[in-house]
Amino acid sequence: MIRRVYPLNDKTLNFKFLQNEEDFIVEEQPIEFSNSGNFVVLEIKKQNCDTWELIDRLSKFLGIFSNEIGYAGLKDKRATTTQYITIPKKYSKELKNFKSKKIEIKEICLHNKKLNIGDLEGNRFKINLHEVEKTDIFQIEKIIKLISKFGMPNYFGYQRFGKDVKDNLEKAKELLFGEAKMKDRKVEKMLMSAYQSTFFNAWLVERLKLENSNFKLLNGDIFYDIKNDKFFTPKSINEKILKDFKEQLITPTGLLPGRDVFKARDDALKIEQRYDDSAISEKGYRREAIVFPKNIICKYDMKKNICTLDFVLPKGSYATVLVEFLANRNFS
């Protein structure tokens, strides 16, 4: 798999990053709920339990189909995570009998519809980095300032591709180009998403190498308007586009190949078309190339050599990518 690069960082750090329930904490930043309707919103705090396991256990306990449970995003297993899900209101009384050592359920309010993927504002992360030398903390603080100013590459993190990366990508190719079939549509979709993601990451590496100091915008780029949640393609890269990008109001996007997706034009297309695959029948998407983490706080415990990070990322972005940026190396 292609190596993720971080051109703004010129130094490699060898701190230890552990993804576990003490050192990796995720808190979903929810949308505003309607406080009325036929769905109950549940706040779930869990340890060593991913979203699929949570849904499987709850659906079996309530005696309902798993697709009746709504969720806004998938959360890692090796972490302490807080996320929000919805269930039909008529099943909520049964929850008082649900018991689990690693799943804590809190009923918060009603909502007028089932939660779907993407129905969240973002995610807050609290991460401990171990064996951080005193001299390293200056470099970490320097890179945090650069990230605050310029944003960070919105790579898909290593979790996207699973433990057996090569095997998973080969399975995806067999589904695409061979005669392989898969009964579990959920697994098939995950494999295809991983395959699409390799094209985006490879494209992003090439675009980052065009200019070391900042992400170089090209004529024909498709941009995402962050405030208004819409895509657009300007006629050219003019002063207003440069200013809006600098002020973190817009960001360029890259392609996840597939059907029914807008393609770049002009100079941007010349690069993008090298990372396209018309054989992919899954829905295509565009993804922000650069994202802007918010509220980054860095605290250092000199006695324990632990650096604690606290920050918020937009939905769909990977905290492990920010940690890789600080270390200037890939973790997997």
Mean pLDDT, rounded, of the chain: 94
3.40.720.10, 3.40.50.11610, 1.10.3260.10, 3.30.2340.10: CATH of 152-291: 3.30.2340.10
Alpha helices (runs of H) in the chain, residue ranges in sequence order = 51-62, 134-150, 165-177, 185-208, 239-246, 266-272, 319-327
> How many Å separate Cα 312 from the centre of its chain?
11
**Which residue in the block uniquely carries the two structure tokens 């992400």?**
215
Whether the pLDDT of residue 1 is over 80: the answer is no
Catalytic annotation present for 10: no
Whether the pLDDT of residue 166 is over 80: the answer is no
Confidence at 173, pLDDT banded by 50, 70, 90: confident
Q: Are strands 39-47 and 70-71 parallel, antiparallel or unpaired?
A: unpaired
Lowest mean pLDDT among 16-25, 169-178, 296-305: 169-178
Beta strand segments in 89-150, E: 103-111, 120-130
DSSP per residue over 2-49, as a string? PPP--TT-------EE--STTTEEEEEEE----S-SSEEEEEEEEES-
Which of 76, 119, 136, 221 is catalytic? The answer is: 76
CB distance 98 to 61 below 8 Å: yes
Lowest mean pLDDT among 95-109, 198-212, 226-240: 95-109
User: Looking at residue 186, what is its pLDDT?
Assistant: 75
Topology of the domain covering 32-118: Alpha-Beta Plaits (3.30.70)
For 232, the 3-state DSSP assignment is: strand
Confidence at 281, pLDDT banded by 50, 70, 90: confident
Q: Domain boundaries in the chain?
A: 1-18+123-151+298-332, 32-118, 152-291
* pLDDT per position as a tens digit, 109-154: 999 999 999 999 999 999 999 999 999 999 999 999 999 999 999 9
Reading the block at residue 24, the tokens are: 């990796």
Which carries the bigger pLDDT value, residue 195 or residue 167? 195
Query: Which residues, at least 6 apart from 100, have a Cβ–Cβ distance to it below 8 Å?
Result: 57
* pLDDT per position as a tens digit, 211-266: 988 899 999 999 999 999 999 999 999 999 999 999 999 999 999 999 999 999 99
Q: Fold match between 32-118 and 152-291?
A: no
